[in-house]
């Protein structure tokens, strides 16, 4: 009798294994996260900081989010829009990831958003500011933990007008992030009576700035507004100073100009004013704890990219805990993120209806190799989400 019972139990177990559902459908097993970030090129350091921040939050939660272990599949997107659709399709169709997390470059992020929208795959954008991602392309399954390109640009337009600058030249890379950052700046600066006398640009990721700097010197504007980031930002700030312009024409920018770059920029960045949703001297208990944990884990100081990666993991956790660990419960998952108050090192925030952070944009000034927060340029700034129908 006893032997027969055991045999029946063994048969039942074998049958259960045979009809086992995929891990995601069961709400057990590992969650597969497709990390699509740049690990080479001018944005390589930004990709690494995002991954570091993402992993730090998971470690702090004991290695699990919503009761599930996390497994990674990684792709180096090289900040190359031409390879973006193939790269994201590999993650979605070949690797069957449960969630996509990426990326840094706006052009690459728009390709990710298109695939996410077409396939219904969950996407959390941990940097790229492409306005369309939470504008015309917005969708219930697409979220952002960072900013729109419009947000820091708009805040700086107001700051520069208040400083009394009447005209400005803009200079940036010619792609969505540069165009939209300048667009946000122009909107606020012109509304306040300022005039943009010339919009200069060069293709991404070129760093041959000399001819454009000569043009700025000839134009003699009251001030310059710029969007550059990563390795390109380091070179631009150094070249601007080397051309002798720093002393004569004040340089302002979206905060990416001096974030994660100060060691390399050295004295050439001292005193620069920028606007961003994070800074090095917030001094809140939440930010202090984050900075300490990050420095201990990675032997590096965190920057805005690390914060955005950390908060992307917090958003994933909010979705997973609302869906009780089951990513196939998409309505519960997305509702969990939409209603979450993200306890970010930058200051707590919630998402707008179009799934972009509504957040304070700080005015920062570089001093002693830190982006010191000297004020709030724009309180609880929400992107206008133009074209979003949701
Ligand atoms: C972007 O392409 O959206 C971007 C890249 C680096 C820093 C900020 C924005």
Is it true that 27-147+281-355 and 150-276 share their CATH fold? yes
The mean of the pLDDT values for the chain is 93
Adjacent-strand bridge partners of 76: 37
Closest ligand 1 atom, residue 105 Cα: 2
Is residue 351 classed as helix, strand or coil in its secondary structure? strand
How far is the centre of ligand 1, averaged over its atoms, from the C-alpha of 23 (Å)?
35
C-alpha 230 to ligand 1 mean position (Å): 9
Q: Give me ligand 1 centre to Cα 319, in Å.
A: 25
Task: Decide if pLDDT at 210 tops 60.
Answer: yes
Q: Return d(Cα 76, Cα 64) in angstroms, integer.
A: 24
Contact yes or no for 327/30 (Cβ under 8 A)? no
Give the pocket of ligand 1 (CB within 6 Å): 43, 104-106, 127-130, 149, 177, 229, 256
Architecture of domain 150-276: 3-Layer(aba) Sandwich (3.40)
pLDDT tens readout for residues 3-21 = 333 333 333 333 333 323 3
- Residues 219, 169: contact at Cβ < 8 Å? yes
Ligand 1 centroid distance, CA of 181 (Å): 10
Task: Say how many CA atoms lie within 13 Å of 291 toward its Cβ.
Answer: 16
- H-helix or E-strand containing 152? helix 150-162
Band (23; pLDDT cuts 50, 70, 90): very low
Q: What burial letters (b/e) apply to 190-214, b meaning 16+ CB within 10 Å? A: eeeebebebbbbbebbebebeebbe
Cβ atoms of 102 and 77 closer than 8 Å:
yes
Radius of gyration, alpha carbons of the chain:
23
Average pLDDT estimate for 165-191: 98
User: What's the average model confidence in pLDDT over 60-67?
Assistant: 96
Could you give the CA distance from residue 327 to residue 189 in angstroms, rounded to a whole number?
44
Q: Please report, for the chain, the start and end positions of each structural domain, with discontinuous segments joined by +.
A: 27-147+281-355, 150-276
pLDDT of 95 strictly over 50? yes
| Predicted confidence (pLDDT) per residue in 36-53, tens digit | 999 999 999 999 999 999
Question: What is the position in ligand 1's atom list of the atom closest to the CA of 230?
Answer: 6
CA–CA gap between residue 4 and residue 343 (Å, rounded): 56
pTM of the model: 0.93
In 3D, which of 197, 199, 137, 163 has the Cα closest to residue 273?
A: 163
Please report the pLDDT score of residue 13 as a whole number: 36
Considering only CA atoms, which residue is closest to atom 3 of ligand 1?
128
Provide the pLDDT for residue 374.
Answer: 98
Among 45, 104, 132, 255, say which to mutate for ligand 1: greatest number of ligand atoms within 8 Å of CB.
Answer: 104
Pocket probe mutation, ligand 1, options 41, 84, 128, max atoms within 8 Å of Cβ: 128
Cα of 177 vs centre of ligand 1, distance in Å, is: 6
Nearest CA to ligand 1 atom 6: 229
In this structure, the residue with its CA closest to atom 7 of ligand 1 is 229
Mutate to test the pocket of ligand 1, among 172, 229, 236 (most ligand atoms within 8 A of CB): 229
C-alpha 238: how far from its chain's center?
25
- Cα(228)–Cα(42) distance, integer angstroms: 10
Residue to substitute in 177, 230, 258, 306 for testing ligand 1 pocket (most ligand atoms within 8 angstroms of CB): 177
| Atom number in ligand 1 closest to CA 104 | 5
Contacts of 157 (CB under 8 A, 6+ apart): 184, 185, 186, 187, 188, 189, 190, 191, 192, 194, 225
pLDDT at residue number 3: 35
Q: Looking at per-residue confidence, does 364 or 15 come out higher?
A: 364
pLDDT at 87: 98
Reported as a pLDDT band with limits 50, 70 and 90, residue 361 is very high
User: How many A from CA of 8 to the centre of ligand 1?
Assistant: 60
Expressed in angstroms and rounded, the spacing between residue 6 Cα and the centre of ligand 1 is 61
> How far is the centre of ligand 1, averaged over its atoms, from the C-alpha of 179 (Å)?
11
Q: Residue 268: pLDDT band by 50, 70, 90 thresholds? A: very high
Homologous superfamily of the 27-147+281-355 domain (CATH): Response regulator (3.40.50.2300)
pLDDT in the model for residue 128: 98
Q: Within 10 A of 58 (CB to CB), how many other CB atoms are there? A: 19
For 113, the 3-state DSSP assignment is helix
134 C-alpha to ligand 1 centroid (Å): 15
- CA 246, 247, 248, 249: dihedral to nearest 10 degrees? 30
What is the whole-number distance in angstroms between the Cα of residue 332 and the centre of ligand 1? 30
């Amino acid at each position: 009798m006893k032997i027969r019972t055991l045999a029946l139990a063994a048969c039942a177990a074998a049958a259960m294994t045979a009809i086992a559902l995929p891990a995601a459908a069961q709400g057990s097993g590992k969650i597969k996260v497709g990390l699509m970030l740049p690990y080479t090129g001018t944005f390589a350091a930004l990709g690494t900081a995002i991954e570091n921040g993402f992993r730090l939050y998971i470690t702090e939660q004991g290695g699990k989010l919503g009761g599930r272990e996390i497994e990674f599949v990684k792709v180096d997107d090289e900040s190359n829009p031409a390879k973006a659709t193939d790269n994201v399709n590999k993650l979605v169709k070949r690797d069957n990831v449960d969630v996509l997390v990426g990326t840094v470059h706006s052009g690459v992020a728009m390709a990710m958003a298109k695939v996410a929208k077409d396939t219904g795959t969950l996407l959390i954008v941990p940097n790229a500011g492409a306005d369309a991602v939470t504008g015309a392309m917005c969708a219930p399954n697409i979220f952002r933990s960072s900013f729109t390109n419009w947000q820091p640009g708009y805040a700086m337009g107001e700051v520069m007008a208040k400083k009394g600058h009447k005209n400005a030249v803009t200079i940036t890379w010619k792609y969505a992030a540069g165009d939209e950052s300048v667009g946000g700046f122009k909107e606020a600066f012109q509304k306040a009576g300022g005039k943009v006398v010339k919009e200069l640009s060069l293709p991404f990721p070129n760093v041959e700035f000399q001819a454009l700097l000569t043009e700025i010197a000839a134009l003699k504007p009251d001030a310059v507004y710029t969007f550059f980031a990563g390795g390109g930002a380091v070179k631009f700030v150094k070249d601007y100073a080397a051309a002798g312009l720093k002393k004569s024409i004040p340089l302002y920018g979206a905060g990416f100009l001096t974030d994660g770059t100060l060691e390399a920029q050295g004295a050439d960045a001292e005193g620069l004013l920028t606007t961003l949703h994070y800074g090095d001297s917030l001094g809140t208990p939440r930010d202090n704890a984050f900075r300490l944990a990050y420095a201990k884990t990675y032997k590096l100081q965190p920057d805005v990219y690390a914060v955005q990666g950390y908060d992307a993991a917090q958003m994933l956790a909010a979705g997973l805990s609302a869906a009780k660990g089951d990513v196939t419960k998409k309505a519960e998952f997305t509702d969990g993120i939409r209603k979450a108050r993200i306890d970010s090192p930058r200051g707590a925030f919630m998402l707008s209806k179009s799934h972009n952070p509504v957040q304070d944009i700080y005015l920062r000034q570089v001093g002693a190799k830190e982006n010191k927060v000297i004020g709030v340029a724009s309180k609880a700034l929400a992107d206008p989400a133009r074209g979003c129908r949701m």
